[in-house]
Amino acid sequence: MRLIESMIEIRKGSIETASNEFGVDAIVNCADPTLMGSDNNVDGAIHGVIDRRAGESGYFKKKIKEEFKGKYHSEKEKIIRCQRGEAVITKGYGLCDYVIHAVGPKSDRNDGKINGYSSSCVEKLTSCYKNIMDLVFDHQGIEKIAIPVISSGNYGYDFEYAFIIGLTTVYNALLEKKQNMKELFDYISLKKVYFVVYDANDNWNTACRVYERYKKAFRREHRVVIRGTVKSQQEFRKEISLYDEQKGYFAVAKLFRKLLITLRIILGFWTYLKDVISKEDWVIRRQTVEITVFIKMFLPLLFIELLDLCNNRKLCGILLFIIVYDLMDTVTYLIALMILADIQRPSANVCRSLLMLIVNYIEVEMDIVAIYYFINFLGEDKKSWMDILNYIMGIQNETNTIQWLAFVNGGIQFFFLTIALSYFINHIRLRKFRTY
């Protein structure tokens, strides 16, 4: 079966000459929303080459207007033919068989700060590449395609980040196609995707370094990630700062959302750990998340046993701090699932999400038991952890059968509450807001 890694190559050059140099059937144009070209960069170069081959200035513009006349009932230049984050396809008019016009987002990062993008801005650039690949799969005549690094020119994206978004999105689209089609994947027409990098400002070396970072995951044919959780949280914070008022979040709501994401960044030990371990590999990241959740569930009992063995008040204070930290981390995470549902990307696997919520619930209960235990230890009022658990559950002087029935009842209540919340959240229709 065809390996996806062999389908992606990075080539040095200019996108407008890719049809001659690499023999591609389609090239991607970094277009503006009108599709009418520009005076410079990729858009202007592609229009210029097609016009010169036709021997007519503005020839490509005229042909594009003709192709879209039936859809927009207009041949005016200044109309929007493609929204930002989307892509459309036209004929290549002598340059190649097809030109795919992708309209990337303008960067909304702070001037001079690489890590200043909002999550919606990144999502729009990701959407460009997804739409490109959808068009490629829909047109079976395309065997080879050349793609530039979208939005890395006049639109202000840092080249490295723009290339990471493009490389990972295209690879994941190919992987998803292969997983869905299984043995039929070898029969799709697409054979090669060339990322064409114009060698300025050391961009070629940067692209090669990025590719090397992802190569191990590519060879495993694991899904890959664009950025770590820490970077995602930074982008969520920027999203809240820039666009919450457009989404109808004012004053207290906006302040609470910003405070919540700030707490998620501060309570970042487990997040940093997940990023360090999983790096670019999405499969390893998911496994790391699941292992981490179960480790946090058992930590309170482990710490209680450790304190019983050492019987040290100083150690008790350290363990108490860790448990409180873990409790705050889990609680803020669960709140963020609801309060930040419009900007965070929840897991698509509902069964997995419900299982993780149940484990989180057990962890929170065990954290509270441990906190009570440690406080009683420091106060010289020592009780067993089972006595404390009974107290928290409201059970006193009951038989073991009644105790376990109460535990089961509490778990059932939580399960149904989780289902109700999940149903409610999944049926909220979130509006989409345009950002540029």
CATH number, domain containing residue 39: 3.40.220.10
- Give the Cα separation of 233 and 431 in Å (integer): 21
Residue that terminates a domain, selected from 177, 199, 225:
225
Task: Of 236, 201, 226, give the one whose Cα is nearest residue 333.
Answer: 236
Rounded mean pLDDT, 48-62: 93
Residue 339 belongs to domain spanning = 233-426
101, 31 Cβ separation under 8 angstroms: yes
DSSP assignment string, 12-24: ES-GGGHHHHH--
Name the residue type at position 398: E
Residue that terminates a domain, selected from 225, 244, 279:
225
Residue 434 maps to a domain: no
Q: Examine the domain organization and report whether 170 and 129 are in the same domain.
A: yes
In terms of phi and psi (left: phi > 0; alpha: psi -120 to 50; beta: otherwise), the region of 411 is alpha
Residue 433 maps to a domain: no
425 token code pair:
């959240």
Predicted confidence at residue 422, as pLDDT, reads: 60
Q: Examine the domain organization and report whether 189 and 247 are in the same domain.
A: no
Predicted confidence at residue 436, as pLDDT, reads: 36
Q: Residue 150: helix, strand or coil by DSSP?
A: coil
Predicted confidence at residue 387, as pLDDT, reads: 64
Specify the higher pLDDT residue, 184 or 142. 142
Residue 435 maps to a domain: no
Question: Which of 16-25, 47-56, 391-400 is the least confident region?
Answer: 391-400
Predicted confidence at residue 198, as pLDDT, reads: 86
Question: Which of 24-38, 81-95, 197-211, 422-436 is the least confident region?
Answer: 422-436
Q: Examine the domain organization and report whether 134 and 183 are in the same domain.
A: yes
- Give the Cα separation of 156 and 271 in Å (integer): 29
Predicted confidence at residue 431, as pLDDT, reads: 45
Q: Examine the domain organization and report whether 155 and 251 are in the same domain.
A: no
Q: Examine the domain organization and report whether 162 and 209 are in the same domain.
A: yes
Residue 301 maps to a domain: yes
Q: Examine the domain organization and report whether 198 and 307 are in the same domain.
A: no
Residue 411 maps to a domain: yes
Element (H, E) at 9: strand 8-12
Rounded mean pLDDT, 65-79: 87
Rounded mean pLDDT, 187-202: 90
Predicted confidence at residue 322, as pLDDT, reads: 95
Residue with tokens 């050391």: 202
Predicted confidence at residue 339, as pLDDT, reads: 83
Residue 140 maps to a domain: yes
Selection from 114-118, 196-200, 313-317, 342-346 with the highest mean pLDDT: 313-317
Q: DSSP class of residue 279?
A: T
135, pLDDT greater than 80: yes
Q: Examine the domain organization and report whether 305 and 211 are in the same domain.
A: no
Predicted confidence at residue 251, as pLDDT, reads: 86
Average model confidence (pLDDT) for the chain?
85
CB-side neighbour CA atoms (13 Å) of 89: 18
86, pLDDT greater than 80: yes
Query: What's the pLDDT band for 207 if we cut at 50, 70, 90?
Result: very high
Q: DSSP class of residue 242?
A: H
Rounded mean pLDDT, 330-354: 78
Predicted confidence at residue 352, as pLDDT, reads: 78
Specify the higher pLDDT residue, 400 or 275. 275
Residue 260 maps to a domain: yes
Residue with tokens 């057990």: 362
Q: Examine the domain organization and report whether 127 and 173 are in the same domain.
A: yes
Question: Which of 106-110, 205-209, 294-298, 390-394 is the least confident region?
Answer: 390-394
- Residue 424: count other Cβ atoms within 10 Å of its Cβ: 10
DSSP assignment string, 26-56: EEEEE--TT-S--SSHHHHHHHHHHHHHHTS
Rounded mean pLDDT, 356-376: 84
Residue 84 maps to a domain: yes
Rounded mean pLDDT, 96-110: 90
Q: Examine the domain organization and report whether 128 and 212 are in the same domain.
A: yes
Q: SS3 helix, strand, coil % of the chain, rounded to 5?
A: 60, 5, 30
- Give the Cα separation of 16 and 102 in Å (integer): 15
Q: Give the chain's domain count.
A: 2
Report the C-alpha dihedral over residues 19, 25, 27, 33, rounded to 10 degrees. Answer: 140
Residue that terminates a domain, selected from 179, 200, 225:
225
Query: What's the pLDDT band for 413 if we cut at 50, 70, 90?
Result: low
pLDDT digits (tens, 9 = 90+) for 221-252: 999 999 888 888 889 999 998 888 888 888 89
397, pLDDT greater than 60: no
